[in-house]
Amino acid sequence: MTPADERRRTVSVQGLARVEGEGSLRVEVRDGRVEDVELQIFEPPRFFEAFLRGRRATEAPDLTARICGICPVAYQMSACAAVEDALGMRVDRGIADLRRLLYCGEWLQSHSLHVHMLHAPDFLGCQDAVEMAQQHRPAFERGLALKKMGNRIMEAVGGRAIHPVNVKVGGFYRAPSRADVAALAGPLTDTLDLALATVAWVAGFDFPDVQGDYRFVALRDAGRYPLESGRVASSDGLDTTPGGFADLVVEEHVARSTALHARLENRLEYLTGPLARYALNSAELPDVAARAASEAGLGPACTNPFQSIIVRAVEIVFACHEALTLVERYEPPDPPTAPVPSGGGEGTGATEAPRGLLFHRYRIDEGGVISAAQIVPPTSQNQITIESDIRRTVQASLDLSDDELTWRSEQAVRNHDPCISCATHFLDLTITRQ
Amino acid sequence: MTGAGPPHVVIAAVGNPLRRDDGAGPAVLEQLRGELGDALVLGALASPLDLLGAWDGAGLAVVVDAVGGDVVPGEVRVVEVDLRDPQGAPTRTAATASSHGLGVSEALRLALALGSMPARVVLVGIGGDDFGEGVGLSPSVSAAVERAAQVVTGLVAEGLAVVR
């Protein structure tokens, strides 16, 4: 077919029903113009907000960790930060460092899975991870090794590789021994080399020339790349506390989707995640990561969404280096947790999940029980911008065949690693022409 | 496991105990805690992807998992995986309870692609009924845990006997 001849094209990607993740994509093109884009995502946090009411605030980290098997630490960290903010708690540097180390483990797990097994196939023409493993075995094995390093950190600090059990409001149930943490140093040194090889590998991919006009939002954390704490900043000058930011976010229900769409006041859309973190914090990267970024051709900011795979790879380098630094100066915090005061209050916590800013807000009554909860995951915040990306990408790619256009549209979704990204690898496609 | 070489027998369970019957595999391993001799017990994996690397070079790998499809609830089905074409292995795994995970079937295909498949892979499937949110197994699945544990014990003894 010659797509340009068609007056009207519909690109429709129907999702297979899944227990936790369900997404679909529909794009309408009429007379050579993209008329409508709908990305539909099923969002589990909505249910969690309801059932958190009536539970003890100290249960929030373990309960919300179950929202996602890929980023449970992000949910635990944001939950702890919100409860501690509500109760006026502060944790010692040693506890904060241990949280940061745990978070590095999660970034390694999540980013290496996405870069090597979910995103790279898009650039290499592979249908899935199995084809990747067959055709690009060394790179695939490098991804497995990086993910395994993330598992080791999670096991050492969190007690197990998935859904860590050692995190609590105020800190940790038990501080890992000095020897257990020191044992991570050697493997981390080797892993850092693998991470650098990954940056060089993805930098060699062919990228469509698409530039986004993004309003970036990410944490900024006084002289270091953000993970588990910081103020919320934006590329157009916002600088506020997590609570101040939560006040600015308006969530709206859209009839066609079960997901809430988040905007800033005045209906401004925005983007969180690696591109945003990098744009607002690239000057804070350690030398080894900054050098890798520069050699990969990145400037101080990157606005080509397809190149998010390079930024993610640079963040893998950062996570390895940061973890190594934290391991080398580790002293078990004693006690491993701050005392949790009685009473209530209202508080907000924001941390950087692998795929973007995740904030929790709780109201806690005087008995220590949650009376209201709000959980805003990165995918919900990014959804409108992802739709804008798809619109821009499809508009610039109308000369492609239907198959190619669908592939390119799915890529535009996966660029942002939303919580449906692996579902979109297994979607059925129908194209209707009128 | 003793010795520096690759493990001869590896055993793993896949499943999420917070998805009711999806926790059947971990329940079987819990039942067998401390009773599997020299086998390398990987424990309950949240992601079958973690099988890769851990089972490389093994003579026998036993994977215990809840299954759906045509397997009736409470049925214990033992499947000898066709190592040339592991596609047909019936599983209901973390992949269907997670938006990101890969299933046992994908892990097997990846192992084939990477040339790291153990010499023999046996899936011990337990038919599940309820994969909704919550803890606790359905009565029929709970009753099957003991039978599945006996099957696993037999397979492990057989596998370890090869190296004795």
Asked if the Cβ–Cβ distance from B46 to A151 is below 8 Å, we say no
Q: Which residues of B110-139 are buried (b: 16+ CB within 10 A; e: fewer)?
A: bbbbbebbbebbbbbbbbbbebebeeebbe
CATH 1.10.645.10 domain position(s) in chain A:
45-376
In the prediction, which pLDDT does A36 show?
83
Q: Which among B18, B97, B113 has the least Cβ separation from residue A133? A: B113
Torsional sign, CA A151, A152, A157, A158? positive
What is the rounded distance in angstroms from the CA atom of residue A246 to the CA atom of residue A79? Answer: 14
Q: Which of A73, A109, A140, A144 to mutate to test the interface with B (most CBs of B within 10 A)?
A: A144
- On whether the CB atoms of residues A38 and A261 are closer than 8 A, the answer is no
Mark yes or no for CB contact A69/B46 under 8 Å.
yes
> Which string of DSSP letters, residue by residue, matches A249-299?
EEEEE-TT-SSEEEEEGGGB--B-SHHHHHHHHGGGS-HHHHHHHHHTT--
For A139, the closest chain B residue by CA position comes to: B114
Omega before residue A335 within 30° of 0, cis: yes
Spatial distance between the Cα atoms of B8 and A246, rounded to a whole number of angstroms: 54
- In chain A, which residues have their Cβ closer than 8 Å to the Cβ of B96? 18-19
- Residue A244 half-sphere exposure toward CB, CA atoms < 13 A: 10
A334 burial class (0-12, 13-18, 19+ CB within 10 angstroms)? exposed
Position A246 scores a pLDDT of 94
Q: Which of A130, A132, A426 to mutate to test the interface with B (most CBs of B within 10 A)?
A: A130
- Taking CB atoms within 8 Å and a gap of at least 24, the contacts of A42-48 are A42/A258, A42/A259, A43/A258, A43/A259, A43/A260, A43/A377, A43/A379, A43/A380, A43/A419, A44/A20, A44/A68, A45/A375, A45/A376, A45/A377, A45/A380, A46/A258, A46/A260, A48/A373, A48/A375
Whether A310 has its CB under 8 Å from any CB of chain B: the answer is no
Question: Closest Cα of chain A to B36: distance in Å?
Answer: 21
Per-residue pLDDT of chain A in tens (434 residues, 90 and over written 9): 344 445 666 655 543 222 234 567 778 888 888 888 877 765 555 567 888 999 999 999 988 887 766 788 999 999 999 999 999 999 999 999 999 999 999 999 999 988 998 889 889 988 778 888 899 999 999 999 999 999 999 999 998 776 788 999 999 999 999 999 999 999 999 999 999 999 999 999 999 888 999 999 999 998 999 999 999 999 999 999 999 999 998 877 766 555 567 788 776 899 999 999 999 999 999 999 999 999 999 999 999 999 999 999 999 999 999 999 999 999 999 999 999 999 999 999 999 999 999 999 999 999 999 999 998 888 888 888 988 988 888 888 888 888 888 888 888 888 888 764 322 333 333 333 33
Topology of the domain covering B9-163: Rossmann fold (3.40.50)
Q: Do B50 and A151 touch (CB under 8 A)?
A: yes
The distance of A97 to chain B (nearest Cα, Å) reads 26
Contact B96 A19 (CB under 8 A): yes
Tokens 């001869």 locate to B8
CB neighbours of residue A31 within 10 Å: 8
Distance of alpha carbon A9 from the chain centroid: 32
Joined together, the tokens standing for residue A74 give: 């992000």
Classified by CATH at the fold level, domain A45-376 comes out as Cytochrome-c3 Hydrogenase; chain B (1.10.645)
A250 at interface of B, judged by CB pairs closer than 8 A: no
Token pair 């359905």 in the structure block, residue: B138
Token representation of residue B163: 């190296």
How would you label B37-48 residue by residue, b for 16+ Cβ within 10 Å and e otherwise?
eebbbbebbbbb
Q: What is the pLDDT of residue B153?
A: 93
Interchain CB distance below 8 Å, B114 and A137 = yes
pTM, rounded to two decimals: 0.85
The pLDDT assigned to B101 comes to: 52
Cross-chain Cβ contact A69/B47 below 8 Å:
yes
Amino acid present at B142: S
At B18-53, the pLDDT tens digits run 778 988 998 999 898 888 888 888 877 767 778 887
Nearest CA in chain A to B106: A130
Could you say which residues from 62 to 81 on chain A have a Cβ atom under 8 Å away from some Cβ of chain B? 66, 68-70
Interface test with A, best of B99, B102, B105 (most A CBs within 10 A): B99
Using one digit for the tens of pLDDT, what is the confidence trace for A53-111? 999 999 999 888 877 667 889 999 999 999 999 999 999 999 999 999 999 999 999 99
Chain B residue with minimum CA distance to A41: B99
DSSP class of residue A158?
Answer: I
Q: Which residues of A touch B18 (CB under 8 A)?
A: 66
Taking the alpha carbons at both ends of chain B, their separation in whole angstroms is: 13
What ipTM was assigned to the predicted interfaces of this complex?
0.70
Q: How far apart are CA B64 and CA B67, in angstroms?
A: 9
* d(CA A340, nearest CA chain B) in Å: 28
Closest residue of B to A420, CA-based? B99
Contact in structure between B159 and B9 (CB atoms under 8 Å): yes
Q: Is A127 on the interface with B (CB under 8 A)?
A: no
Residue A229 CA to residue A93 CA, distance in Å, equals 12
Residues of chain B with pLDDT under 70: 1-6, 46, 86-102, 133, 163-164
What's the confidence (pLDDT) of residue A193? 98
Q: What is the domain partition of chain B in residue ranges?
A: 9-163
> Is A278 in contact with A314 (CB distance < 8 Å)?
yes
Q: Which residues on B lie below 8 Å from A159 (Cβ)? A: none
What residues in B contact A45, CB-CB < 8 Å? none
Among A19, A117, A421, whose Cβ lies nearest the Cβ of B97?
A19
Distance CA A337, CA A167 (A): 9
